[in-house]
Chain A
Amino acid sequence: MLAIVKKELSSYFHSLIGYVYLAVFFGFSGFYFFATSLYSNTTSLNYMYNGLFVIICFLIPILTMKLFSVERKQKTDQALLTAPVSLFSIVMGKYLSVLLIYLFSISITLLYGIIISFFAPAEWAVILGNFVALFLIGAAIIAIDMFISSTTESQSIAAVASFAVSFLVIMFDAMTSLVSVDFISKILKGISLTQHYYNTFTVGIFNIADIIFFLSICTLFVFFTIRVFEKRRWS
């Protein structure tokens, strides 16, 4: 598993993808930090985190699109799948590598918290709540996008489908409000990522139920990805 994490990380920074992702993310986060916090004289980083949520929705597919699709296209998956390692560690290795880059990129927001604390006492509970929420929702989206990447050979298809998922995540609440059947709208609200993102973490409350919700999404899609490979072996 470690071998795969190492290889994936180095491949992100061998190609430009890793640098482009970090540059774009840092650029936007810097801009949001400046515009919504420094420029408007507030210690609240909430607006910045809100803005970043949309940014990561569209940056994560860049990281995940080639995870498995390119392996399959270039037949390098043959090396992975015939090596004496379990499917679980292959998939987890890939997943962890993206997660690490993602974690590294969003960690910069903690730096902004420190910068803020020079001017006025920062609300660390809210900042950490936002940070953990951004991490969890990112981890869930990464898992979904990784699953998408494992189902196709083409990284463009993987990217487009992942963008669609991101868009759906953002629009989900607006869409569920159109459903008039009470029962269905409740279910839809229950599976909406953003419902578990806002309202609790963003005001500094660590709700176990929400944490478990995100972790289950991650687990579910890691499991699905493993199943994709299992299935391919048999068909």
Chain B
Amino acid sequence: MIEVRNIKKYYGSKIAVDDVSFAVNDGEILGFLGPNGAGKSTTMNILTGYISSNEGTVTIDGFEILKEPIKAKSKIGYLPEIPPLYLDMTVREYLNFMFDLKNIKFPKISHIEEICEKVKIIDVIDRLIKNLSKGYKQRVGLAQALLGNPKLLILDEPTVGLDPKQIIEIRNLIKELKKDHTIILSSHVLPEIQSICDRVLVINKGKIVADDTAENLSNNLQAETNLIAQIQGDKEIVLRTLSNIQQIINIEASEEKSEGVFEYKIKSVSDDVRKHIFRELAKIDCPIIELKTSTVNLEDIFLQLTKDEDELKPNDLNISSNNAESEFDKGGEK
């Protein structure tokens, strides 16, 4: 469906997209993941022909975007980061205009109404776009991308700035669209990618750092088991006791949670060491206040992959995810 080969984009001397290549098959849904400023939007703008890459080619359904732009663009529905809406038009006028602009051959009125039903904007169709809420504007943008049933949908952060209810609605909508379209979706919200996409492409500083299914990505990093424990008692004694347990590879004590209670990050080989920990600590009378496993999820992978390479040590692959998770949730649902 779409094939991207070695694209590079420079802004002045700064490189924004550095030798990115990937292909998306028909019916696949690809998640584009990366921190802000990683080059996601730039890449999407290149795919849609809004800007040109300095090197490399983008081929959409057999048509190269620079050589046969009109044929290639007619295969794409694009929702940019900021939906391109004319605020002083009504939804109907706007969609009529986009319909004419894209030179679509379907019957106009029924096609537009069908799409409005699909994205649930039929009840605001005669209102001015500037009076709509952000969620509705986003949907009008999506409706615009869906006009003409393009084979390929490119959605740049479709849920950013929406409230949690709207996010769920848009996500469900995208899942529905999956049936008829090939979709490329970008986001810095990880659960979104995890729940929608077949395949994840992690991009950082203009480079692709991972390209795999969400499951594979987390499986690769889950060879070791991590535990987080809050244990009451003297830190030194606890550390000494625990390090006697064979299966444990590494223990790190972190901050004091409440008086006399410390938190420990425990790395062990995959055998469950919880009962050993319990027995050993019972012997020295240090009660376990809390004990939980930390599973590696996309957030850890993301943080790992997007870290500067020089900071990346093998040990880091198993850091606990608590802090990162809460930060991301805040960031994502803001």
Chain A interface (Cβ < 8 Å from any Cβ of B): 2-4, 6-7, 10-11, 14-15, 74-86, 232-235
Q: A83-B73, A84-B71, A84-B73 are in contact. Are A78 and B78 (CB under 8 A)?
A: yes
Q: For window 246-267 of chain B, which residues contact chain A by CB distance below 8 Å?
A: none
Would you list 16 pairs from A and B whose C-beta atoms are within 8 A, ordered by A residue? A4-B101, A6-B100, A14-B89, A76-B84, A76-B86, A77-B84, A78-B82, A79-B80, A79-B98, A83-B98, A83-B101, A84-B69, A84-B74, A85-B70, A232-B51, A234-B52
Is B183 interfacial (CB-CB < 8 Å)?
no
> Which chain A residues border B93 with CB–CB below 8 Å?
10
CB distance from B15 to the nearest CB of A (A): 14
Q: Which of B52, B86, B98, B101 contacts A233 (CB 8 A)?
A: B52
Is B278 interfacial (CB-CB < 8 Å)?
no
> Which chain A residues border B69 with CB–CB below 8 Å?
84, 86
Q: How far is the CA of A83 from the CA of B147 in the complex (A)?
A: 11
Q: A14-B89, A233-B52, A234-B52 are in contact. Are A85 and B101 (CB under 8 A)?
A: yes
Q: How far is the CA of A5 from the CA of B304 in the complex (A)?
A: 51
**A75-B80 in contact (CB<8A):** yes
Q: How far is the CA of A84 from the CA of B48 in the complex (A)?
A: 10
Task: Give the dominant DSSP class at B's interface.
Answer: loop
A234 (CB) vs chain B CBs: closest residue: B52
Q: A79-B144, A80-B101 are in contact. Are A74 and B70 (CB under 8 A)?
A: no
**B85-A233 in contact (CB<8A):** no
Q: Which of A6, A7, A82, A235 contacts B48 (CB 8 A)?
A: A82
**A78-B97 in contact (CB<8A):** no
Q: Mark B43-60, 1 if CB is under 8 A from A, else 0.
A: 001001111101000000
Q: Which of A3, A74, A80, A232 contacts B87 (CB 8 A)?
A: A74
Q: How far is the CA of A235 from the CA of B101 in the complex (A)?
A: 26
Is B76 interfacial (CB-CB < 8 Å)?
yes
Chain B interface (Cβ < 8 Å from any Cβ of A): 11, 45, 48-52, 54, 69-71, 73-74, 76, 78, 80, 82, 84-89, 93, 97-98, 100-103, 144
Task: Give the dominant DSSP class at A's interface.
Answer: helix
CB distance from A73 to the nearest CB of B (A): 11
> Which chain B residues border A81 with CB–CB below 8 Å?
49-50
CB distance from A82 to the nearest CB of B (A): 4
CB distance from A161 to the nearest CB of B (A): 24
> Which chain A residues border B51 with CB–CB below 8 Å?
232-234
> Which chain A residues border B102 with CB–CB below 8 Å?
83-85
**B70-A11 in contact (CB<8A):** no
B148 (CB) vs chain A CBs: closest residue: A84
CB distance from A224 to the nearest CB of B (A): 19
Q: A7-B97, A79-B98, A233-B50 are in contact. Are A84 and B84 (CB under 8 A)?
A: no
Q: How far is the CA of A75 from the CA of B156 in the complex (A)?
A: 14
CB distance from A66 to the nearest CB of B (A): 11
**B76-A6 in contact (CB<8A):** no
CB distance from A77 to the nearest CB of B (A): 7
Q: A6-B97, A79-B144 are in contact. Are A85 and B103 (CB under 8 A)?
A: yes
**B144-A3 in contact (CB<8A):** no
Best-buried of A3, A6, A15, A80 by chain B (most CB within 10 Å): A3
Q: A78-B45, A83-B102, A235-B11 are in contact. List 13 more A-B contacts (CB 8 A).
A: A7-B97, A14-B88, A15-B88, A74-B86, A76-B85, A79-B84, A79-B101, A82-B50, A82-B73, A83-B73, A84-B69, A84-B71, A86-B70
> Which chain A residues border B73 with CB–CB below 8 Å?
82-84
Q: How far is the CA of A233 from the CA of B11 in the complex (A)?
A: 11
Q: How far is the CA of A230 from the CA of B87 in the complex (A)?
A: 26
> Which chain A residues border B80 with CB–CB below 8 Å?
75, 78-79, 82
> Which chain B residues border A79 with CB–CB below 8 Å?
80, 84, 98, 101, 144
CB distance from A86 to the nearest CB of B (A): 7
> Which chain A residues border B78 with CB–CB below 8 Å?
78, 82
Q: A82-B49, A84-B74 are in contact. Are A3 and B84 (CB under 8 A)?
A: no
Q: A2-B100, A75-B84 are in contact. Are A84 and B50 (CB under 8 A)?
A: no
> Which chain A residues border B87 with CB–CB below 8 Å?
74
Q: How far is the CA of A216 from the CA of B279 in the complex (A)?
A: 92
